[in-house]
């Protein structure tokens, strides 16, 4: 671990931006500053964390010797800001989803190629040991070929994000709705484990959340190559749970994200063999994620979601929304 103190700017200090600010600070490896267009929020960041604050990106760039930025604005701004700051020679960490469409992807790819800086996307499931270890197990062939996957997930969104009506969540074009905001985590993790989604057939509805019209419930029948996959999720159920079942030729793996554990059961076994990892607070995952990003900046390997993996999950999001709109299965190019 380097003793250099990197200079990192958090852009957008809402719900997740504040967490990144706190967790990058807790890494002890960087000097953090904050940028937001909301002056009340900026004053709160200064008050709570003692950081320098800036009302615009341009102001921060001109006054600081920055090494990196963490982009925590709503999703329609992720790529425009990433391209701008890659062109300034900065390392860039981008919140999920990567974008709301693929229009700027080629330009972003070119900016990354030119800048030669570290870029990653903050799909935080990559830092969960119960996902990463299960992935290792599956990818080492311990189930033989994977044949079938099913995921069931949901939470009571009004409890976890009471402001959902007032934020990006309420509008697709800002990255809202269940597919782009929530299901995208499970799909990205599944792609990380078994490979990219190639076909999507998606049904959605607005079932329960008051004050918005975007989908809060989704059923997806997908193929990831030869693997058949089903995703079911909603944002109104009482339990806050995500379960992923991966079935192969010789047995199965079950990941229970809410229990922070994963297990395996091979043909002939009587019960699951669970691998329980040390219980973690939510900040612990984000501190691990901050450290991984700083490692990446220093030229080291990381488990973080790459730009291209996030482009692939963006393609899933778009295909799922299109399938829901047209009622047809969509091939993911």
Ligand X SMILES: NC(=O)c1ccc[n+]([C@@H]2O[C@H](COP(=O)([O-])OP(=O)(O)OC[C@H]3O[C@@H](n4cnc5c(N)ncnc54)[C@H](O)[C@@H]3O)[C@@H](O)[C@H]2O)c1
How far is it, in rounded angstroms, from Cα 48 to Cα 18? 10
Main-chain dihedrals φ then ψ at residue 137, nearest 5 degrees: -60, -50
Shortest Cβ 176–ligand X spacing (Å) = 8
Write down the least CB distance from residue 181 to ligand X, Å.
5
Task: Determine contact, residues 71/96, Cβ cutoff 8 Å.
Answer: no
Specify the 3-state DSSP secondary structure of 140: coil
**Smallest distance from ligand X to CB 97, Å:** 6
Residue 71 CB-half CA count within 13 A:
27
User: Closest approach of Cβ 322 to ligand X, in Å?
Assistant: 20
Q: Which residues bind ligand X (CB under 6 A)?
A: 11-17, 35-38, 41, 72-75, 77, 95-96, 122, 124, 167-168, 175, 181
Cβ of residue 91: shortest distance to ligand X, in angstroms? 18
DSSP for 243-283 reads EEEEEESSEEEEEEGGGTEEEEEETT-SS-EEEEPPP--HH
Cβ proximity to ligand X: between 181 and 295 the closer is 181
State which residue, 13 or 290, has the beta carbon closest to ligand X.
13
Please enumerate in sequence order all residues whose Cβ is within 8 A of that of 305, keeping only pairs 6 or more positions apart, or say none: 96, 120, 121, 122, 123, 126, 188, 192, 313
SS3 of 142-184 = ECECEEEEEEEEECCHHHHCCCCCCCHHHCHHHCCHHHHHHHH
User: 253 or 290, CB closer to ligand X?
Assistant: 290
Shortest distance, position 12 Cβ to ligand X, whole Å: 3
C-alpha distance from residue 257 to each of 80, 129, 187 (Å): 33, 10, 14
Q: How far apart are CA 100 and CA 41, in angstroms?
A: 25
Residue nearest to ligand X (CB): 14
Q: DSSP secondary-structure letter at 95?
A: P
Residue 138 vs 183, nearer CB to ligand X: 183
Cβ distance to ligand X smaller for residue 37 or 103: 37
Residue given tokens 């425009």 in the structure block: 80
Nearer to ligand X, 67 or 95 (CB): 95
Q: Which is nearer to ligand X, 1 or 163 (CB)?
A: 163
Distance in Å, CB of 128 to ligand X, minimum:
11
User: For ligand X, which is the closer residue by CB, 184 or 264?
Assistant: 184
Q: How far apart are CB 187 and ligand X at their closest, in Å?
A: 14
């Amino acid at each position: 671990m380097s003793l250099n103190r990197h200079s990192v700017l958090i852009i957008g200090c809402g719900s997740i931006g504040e967490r990144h600010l706190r967790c990058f600070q807790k890494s002890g490896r960087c000097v953090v500053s904050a940028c937001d267009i909301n002056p009340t929020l900026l004053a709160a960041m200064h008050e709570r964390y003692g950081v320098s604050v800036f009302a615009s990106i341009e102001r921060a760039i001109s006054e600081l010797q920055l090494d990196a930025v963490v982009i925590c604005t709503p999703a329609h701004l992720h790529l425009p800001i990433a391209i701008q700051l890659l062109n300034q020679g900065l390392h860039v960490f981008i919140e999920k989803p990567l974008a709301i469409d693929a229009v700027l992807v080629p330009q972003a790819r070119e900016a990354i190629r030119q800048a030669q800086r570290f870029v990653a996307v903050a799909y935080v499931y990559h830092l969960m040991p119960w996902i990463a270890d299960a992935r290792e197990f599956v990818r080492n062939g311990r189930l033989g070929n994977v044949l079938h996957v099913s995921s069931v997930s949901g939470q009571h969104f009004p409890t976890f994000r009471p402001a959902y009506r007032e934020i990006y969540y309420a509008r697709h074009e800002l990255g809202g709705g269940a597919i782009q905001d929530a299901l995208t985590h499970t799909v990205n993790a599944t792609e990380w484990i078994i490979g990219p989604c190639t076909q999507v057939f998606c049904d959605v509805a607005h079932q329960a959340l008051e004050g918005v019209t975007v989908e809060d419930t989704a059923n997806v029948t997908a193929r990831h190559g030869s693997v058949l996959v089903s995703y079911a999720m909603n944002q109104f159920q009482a339990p806050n749970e995500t379960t992923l079942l991966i079935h192969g030729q010789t047995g199965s793996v079950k990941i229970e994200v809410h229990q922070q554990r994963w297990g395996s059961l091979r043909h002939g076994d009587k019960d699951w063999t669970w691998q329980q990892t040390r219980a973690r607070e939510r900040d612990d995952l984000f501190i691990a994620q901050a450290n991984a990003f700083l490692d990446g900046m220093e030229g080291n390997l990381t488990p973080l979601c790459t730009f291209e993996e996030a482009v692939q999950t963006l393609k899933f999001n778009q295909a799922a929304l299109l399938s829901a709109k047209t009622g047809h299965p969509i091939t993911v190019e």
